[in-house]
Structure 1
């Protein structure tokens, strides 16, 4: 009997702000020895970008630019190592697009939605971290408005359920807060043959 080598995992971690995404992504990257694809918006804001100073067309273009950067980085990591751990998934961009009110352009929204759904295919697992499980830290990057965070959380959960029913999803229980326990939950949820 021939033993097959497990394939490297391709994991995306999603959820609203302040759920521990970056912490879990970094920990999973170390655990698997895989490249991490960060959320590119955070680095821009930390570098001084003020979203409130952007005109709507600029903000809209920025969301598409960040989407393209994220996918390019993810695909390059997979091509190089066979796997990756990403802070957010393609449907997060559709969530942001709708959250910020760009859905009125139906043709462009349809195109983005179709591409985001197709770009979910390489993923072995999407981990949804629960909103409100970790005390929120005001850091100047994320909105501290818990209702906006809950709105985005519901939006991304709904998009995943509606458009990617075949992509395995781990809804991290709200009482699983320990970093190692979260890693263990991810390991248990990975499909067979992916390690």
Structure 2
């Protein structure tokens, strides 16, 4: 079975990743992989610590692989291990060896980086107590450059973003 074209959708909190992933899945009638971090926080009712980072990233990958095994044209991934690594750099001062290995080994057919241009609203355990989207965005762009990962910056309202992605996917 042919593997789906994997679309990584990454960016800081409040950059519209989930909204875009859901909209793309609906538009193309293909699956999307929700961000496991949200479920992790909801179920445990606590914020993750450094020791949770590899578990979060590897669970995200396992869910991605399970959906990819079903085939299809596209698979829209609402975050990747690279974002877990970026948050590890910001909150814990670095990336542990297991997480680095996982983040470095993941390949996507296209990487979309959502510009953090929406109003940030704290939402409890899921995200920061203050807006750190600019700092996270800067770390992300540095990590993409360091790793030599090509990406496309996505911006504007949802319709504009869908048009941008549609052009990239050959609509």
- Do both proteins adopt the same fold according to a TM-score greater than 0.5, normalized to the shorter chain? yes
In the alignment, what sits opposite 1:84? 75
Unmatched tracts of structure 2, length 5 or more: none
Work out which of the residue numbers 10, 18, 23 in structure 1 matches 2:6: 10
Task: Give the TM-score taking structure 2 as reference length.
Answer: 0.86
1:140-179 equivalences in 2 (<5 Å): 140=124, 141-146=126-131, 148-165=132-149, 168-173=150-155, 176-177=156-157, 179=158
Root-mean-square deviation over aligned CA pairs:
2.3
Residues 1-195 of structure 1 mapped to structure 2, 5 A cutoff: 8-51=4-47, 59-82=49-72, 83-103=74-94, 109-119=96-106, 121=107, 123-131=108-116, 133-140=117-124, 141-146=126-131, 148-165=132-149, 168-173=150-155, 176-177=156-157, 179-190=158-169
TM-superposition CA deviations, 1:64-102 (whole Å, max 9, x none): 111111001111111212431111122112112212225
Which is higher, the Rg of structure 1 or of structure 2?
Answer: 1
- The gaps in structure 1 that reach 5 residues or longer are 1-5
Contact 1:25 1:87 in 2 (8 A): yes
**d(CA) in 1 for partners of 2:146, 2:39:** 30
CA distance in 2, matches of 1:144, 1:187: 34
The change in CA–CA distance for 1:130 and 1:144 in structure 2 (over 3 A counts) is farther
User: Between Structure 1 and Structure 2, how many residues are aligned?
Assistant: 168
Aligned equivalents of 2:32, 2:57: Cα separation in 1: 16
- CA distance in 2 between counterparts of 1:93 and 1:31 reads 27
TM superposition score normalised by structure 1: 0.76
CA contact (8 A) 1:36 1:84 kept: yes
In 2: Cα distance, 1:94 partner to 1:170 partner: 19
Q: Secondary structure at the match of 2:8?
A: strand
Runs of 4+ in 1 over 6 A off after TM superposition: none
